[in-house]
A and B are shown apart, each in its own frame.
Chain A
C-alpha cells in the first residue's frame, strides 16, 4: 500500500479503536504536565497525540510512551478538550498487540516476584502487554 495512505489509515484505526477524534487535541500539554510517568517516556502523552495527528505511524509505534502509561486517567480528568488520552494510549498498545508484538515474555518474569505479587498485578500487566 502507498505509504501516505497507510499512515492515514493508521490514524483512522487509532481513532476507531479509541473512539476519539484526534483533531480535538489542541496541544496544550496539560496531559503531559500531570502524568506521573511522563519523565520515563521518550515521547510523552501530548507528543504521542501530536504524532498520531501528523500520521507519523512509525514514530508512534516506536515510542515508549504508551507502554509507560499506567491508565491512571489523571490526564483524562484534566484535558480541557475532553480528549480521553488513556484510550488513545490503549489504542496504540492494542495496535501493537493485534499485530502480535507483545512486549513482555511471561517466561522472563522473575519467579520469586511472580509468587509474591497479587494476581491482579500480573493479570493487569498481561492484559496490557501481551496478546
Chain B
C-alpha cells in the first residue's frame, strides 16, 4: 500500500522525530509513505481574514500536486492539516474563489482532494494496526492532548467532537496504553504566543501539564509540533516559576505507535525530547 504524504517544513527540521517515527510505523504495518514530488510550505496558521485570497494559493498548489498522485493525502502536522483542510473547504464551497485562483496558476485544482490525518487513517484501519503490534505497552498511562487545530472549526474539519473528542484515546487504547481522563485536552497550548507573550504560554502550559499529572498521566501524547514544543520546551521555564513542578515527558503519537510496533530505537527520535522519556520507557520495559 502506497499513501500520498505531505510532511510540511517542520517535520524536516524541528519535528524530525514525528517524520521518522511515522515513516517507520507505516513501514511496520506494510505501507509506504509516498512524499509528494515537490511541495511547499502550507503558509502556517490559516488566515481568518475573509478578504485574503493570497493565503489560499500555497494550499491550492499543494492540493493540486496531491491530486495528481492520489485522491487523498496524509498530513500529520496539526497546523498543516488545519490549513490545508480549511483552504480545501473554501475551494470546494466557493467555486468563484477556486476559479479566480486557478486562473492565476499553472496548476489547476478541482477541489476534490481529501486531506487525512494519520489518526483518522488508524481509526479506519484498526485491525491492520492490531495485527502488527509487537511490544506490549503494559498500559502506560498517557494523556491525549488534542489542542486546537485538529478539532476546530468542526464544521470544516469534521475530525471529531470539538469539546469531547475520543479518536486519540481510542488509538492509544488500541496500541495497548491507557488513556487517562484529561479535561483540558482541547484547550490551547499558547500556540504562537510563545514568540511574543511567553508568560501567557508558560502559564497555560503549566495548567495543562498539572491537569494531566493530576489525573495520573505518566506522559502526554500529541500530534502538533507547536504543541509539542510548548509542552516540552517550556517545562524548564515553568520550573523556575513553580518550584514544586515535576517534569513530564511528551511524545508524538507516532513515537508511541512506533514503540508498540517494535520499531528500532534509532528511528524513534527520542533524543530530541527535551524532557527525557527514557526513565518512564525503561520502567515499562520499552527500551
Chain A positions within 8 Å of B, measured between CB atoms, are 16-19, 36-37, 40, 67-68, 70-74, 76-77, 84, 86-87, 89-91, 94, 103-104, 109, 113, 116-125, 127-129
For A86, the chain B residues whose CB sits under 8 A away are 48
Decide: A124 and B229 in contact? CB cutoff 8 A.
no
| A88–B168 CA distance with the chains assembled, in angstroms | 31
| Main DSSP-derived SS at the A contact region | helix
B179 close to A (CB within 8 Å): no
For B204, the chain A residues whose CB sits under 8 A away are 36-37
B71 close to A (CB within 8 Å): no
| Main DSSP-derived SS at the B contact region | loop
Interface size class of B (residues with CB under 8 A): 35 or more
B284 close to A (CB within 8 Å): no
| A49–B104 CA distance with the chains assembled, in angstroms | 36
Q: In the complex, which residue of chain B has the Cβ closest to the Cβ of A17? A: B49
Q: Which of B153, B195, B225 has a CB less than 8 Å from the CB of A122?
A: B195
Decide: B9 and A119 in contact? CB cutoff 8 A.
yes
A-contacting residues, B201-216, CB 8 Å: 204
Decide: B45 and A71 in contact? CB cutoff 8 A.
yes
Decide: A70 and B191 in contact? CB cutoff 8 A.
yes
For A128, the chain B residues whose CB sits under 8 A away are 45, 192
For B79, the chain A residues whose CB sits under 8 A away are 120, 124
Q: In the complex, which residue of chain A has the Cβ closest to the Cβ of B82? A: A73
Smallest CB separation, A4 vs chain B (Å): 25
Smallest CB separation, A88 vs chain B (Å): 9
| A71–B153 CA distance with the chains assembled, in angstroms | 11
Decide: A120 and B195 in contact? CB cutoff 8 A.
no
Counting chain A CB atoms within 10 Å of each CB, the highest count among B48, B154, B188 belongs to B48
A-contacting residues, B1-33, CB 8 Å: 8-10, 13-15
Query: Can you list 27 contacts pairing A with B, beta carbon distance less than 8 Å?
Result: A17-B51, A18-B49, A36-B204, A37-B200, A70-B148, A70-B190, A71-B45, A73-B152, A74-B188, A90-B49, A91-B48, A91-B49, A94-B52, A103-B196, A109-B195, A116-B233, A118-B10, A119-B10, A120-B44, A120-B79, A120-B225, A120-B226, A125-B194, A125-B195, A127-B44, A127-B45, A128-B192
